[in-house]
Amino acid sequence: MDALFSDRIRDVPRSFIREILKVTMDRQMISFAGGLPNRQFFPVQQLQKACERVFAVRGGDCLQYSNSEGLIELRRYIARRYKTVQGISLDPDQILITNGSQQALDLIAKATLNDGDPVIIEEPGYLGAIQALSLYRPAFLPVAVDDEGIDVQGLANAINSRPKMMYTVPNFQNPSGISYSQEVRKQVAGLVAGSGCLLIEDDPYGALRFKGTPVDSFFHFLPGQTILLGSFSKIVVPGFRLGWVAAPETILEKLLVAKQASDLHTCNFTQYVILEYLHNNDIDGHIKTICDAYGNQCRAMIDAIEREFPADVHCTRPEGGMFLWGKLPEPVSSLALFDKAVERKVVFVPGEPFYTRKVRTSAFRLNFSCVDESVINDGIARLAEAIRSLQLDQR
């Protein structure tokens, strides 16, 4: 049967996280694994009213085929939001509505990458990006990230390989939770400027800041080379699969062709519903509610870690988003810890899937957005017990 499949699909593994989520079907399992928004904050009643209003006003038109670019009213809303929140000036015609920002990344890769093209990616990096880009068989150039952002010297070395693109999540990065400092952003922009490298700024978590001060988008420094990816998944609902890509018009033209070849257009009805919701509800108040809750949950997890974990286990201290990144003392493997944790009915994501190369790592990702404080305390205590058990085994 292998002869039926293309080389590109044969080389890409199934999503490790999606496989882990099967384990969480056990109701006794405490999960710190999934990168899921908390459904407690899905605005169900408001979206129900928005649906009713869309049907009442639009009738059958909202169920019809539509243009590939997306609703112009929704693209205007996104452009205004960029201007108001980030001081970024975009024309609505620079914005393409996609099936989540994941599709936007796929369209960019489809439109720009040939086999073997060099691509800079953070290490550790977003698993979904690694999987999406791997289909187009690039030569990954992984560059390490630390608490300040990407390693600038490592990036300078990678730029010498003339990369086609650089993929980055500069705000509350998945999986580490770190954010690039303003100084690192300036240095990155200086290195990328004039290199011919497209800078893909994926920002699904940027609105989820619960402490600290926002810093500038790469677009402020490199408007002609930066492609922005955004999503309603983390601030409204993920199930609608509504995202967007904002790019220079010459690039967007090719992304539009790729979109037409892929699925013609993003669901017309859900675009109308989101638009109706945004026009008639306080999105900033809604986001603040989410941020307050996630901030409390993050603090609860960090407090529990400091109380329960051995002193030689270290974790990041994110200022927003949904994740933190832990490291066990070497040479302890986080995959070995995963097996111990499952025995104690708690799961997380080991670090290996977040690397483009085969590694044995002590790192792991914890998600705090979908668990309340009492569950966090219980789960971290179980995980601490698993760590101590693993350390005893390795003595």
CATH number at residue 14: 3.90.1150.10
Residue 56 lies in a domain: no
Mean pLDDT of 28-35: 89
Q: What is the pLDDT of residues 311-351, one digit of tens each?
A: 999 999 999 999 999 999 888 889 999 999 999 999 999 99
pLDDT range class, residue 46, cuts 50, 70, 90: very high
pLDDT tops 90 at residue 21 = no
Residue 55 lies in a domain: no
Assess whether 126 and 258 both reside in one domain. yes
Q: What is the pLDDT of residues 167-203, one digit of tens each?
A: 999 999 999 999 999 999 999 999 999 899 999 999 9
Residue 225 lies in a domain: yes
pLDDT range class, residue 8, cuts 50, 70, 90: confident
Beta bridge partners of 365: 325, 349
Mean pLDDT of 219-241: 97
How far apart CA 343 and CA 231 sit, in angstroms, is: 36
Per-residue model confidence (pLDDT) at position 154? 98
CA distances from 238 to 99, 101, 204, 252, 270 (A): 10, 11, 11, 24, 11
Could you give the number of structural domains in the chain? 2
pLDDT range class, residue 7, cuts 50, 70, 90: confident
How far apart CA 29 and CA 346 sit, in angstroms, is: 5
Assess whether 175 and 308 both reside in one domain. no
Assess whether 240 and 387 both reside in one domain. no
pLDDT tops 70 at residue 395 = no
Residue 117 CA to its chain's centroid (Å): 23
Assess whether 216 and 291 both reside in one domain. no
Mean pLDDT of the chain: 94
Contacts of 381 (CB under 8 A, 6+ apart): 304, 308
Which residue's entry shows tokens 């693209």?
Answer: 75
Per-residue model confidence (pLDDT) at position 24? 63
With both helix axes pointing from N to C terminus, report the angle between 100-112 and 127-134 in degrees, rounded to the nearest 10: 40
Assess whether 157 and 260 both reside in one domain. yes
> Which of 259, 280, 301 is the last residue before a domain boundary?
280
Assess whether 273 and 291 both reside in one domain. no
Burial of 342 (0-12, 13-18, 19+ CB in 10 A): middle
pLDDT range class, residue 391, cuts 50, 70, 90: confident
Assess whether 181 and 80 both reside in one domain. yes
> Which of 255, 280, 305 is the last residue before a domain boundary?
280
Q: What is the pLDDT of residues 121-178, one digit of tens each?
A: 999 999 999 999 999 999 999 999 999 999 999 999 999 999 999 999 999 999 999 9
Per-residue model confidence (pLDDT) at position 19? 65
Assess whether 297 and 198 both reside in one domain. no
How many percent of the chain have pLDDT more than 70?
96
Assess whether 335 and 262 both reside in one domain. no
Q: What is the pLDDT of residues 345-379, one digit of tens each?
A: 999 999 999 999 888 899 999 999 999 999 999 99
What's at 241, amino acid-wise? R
Mean pLDDT of 96-114: 96
Mean pLDDT of 251-277: 97
Residue 266 lies in a domain: yes
Residue 59 lies in a domain: no
Q: How does strand 346-347 pair with strand 349-350?
A: unpaired
Please give the residue range of the domain that contains residue 177. Answer: 65-280
Q: What is the pLDDT of residues 211-229, one digit of tens each?
A: 999 999 999 999 999 999 9
Global model pTM greater than 0.75: yes
Per-residue model confidence (pLDDT) at position 9? 80
How many Cα atoms within 13 Å fall on the side-chain side of residue 171?
24
Assess whether 241 and 316 both reside in one domain. no
How many Cα atoms within 13 Å fall on the side-chain side of residue 75?
21
pLDDT tops 80 at residue 3 = no
> Which of 280, 311, 341 is the last residue before a domain boundary?
280
Assess whether 267 and 293 both reside in one domain. no
How far apart CA 349 and CA 363 sit, in angstroms, is: 9
Give yes or no for a contact between 115 and 11, defined as CB atoms under 8 angstroms apart: no
How many percent of the chain have pLDDT more than 90?
88
Q: What is the pLDDT of residues 267-285, one digit of tens each?
A: 999 999 999 999 999 999 9
pLDDT tops 70 at residue 23 = no
Residue 191 lies in a domain: yes
Assess whether 84 and 143 both reside in one domain. yes
Look up the CATH number of the domain holding residue 87.
3.40.640.10
How far apart CA 346 and CA 367 sit, in angstroms, is: 12
How far apart CA 168 and CA 184 sit, in angstroms, is: 13
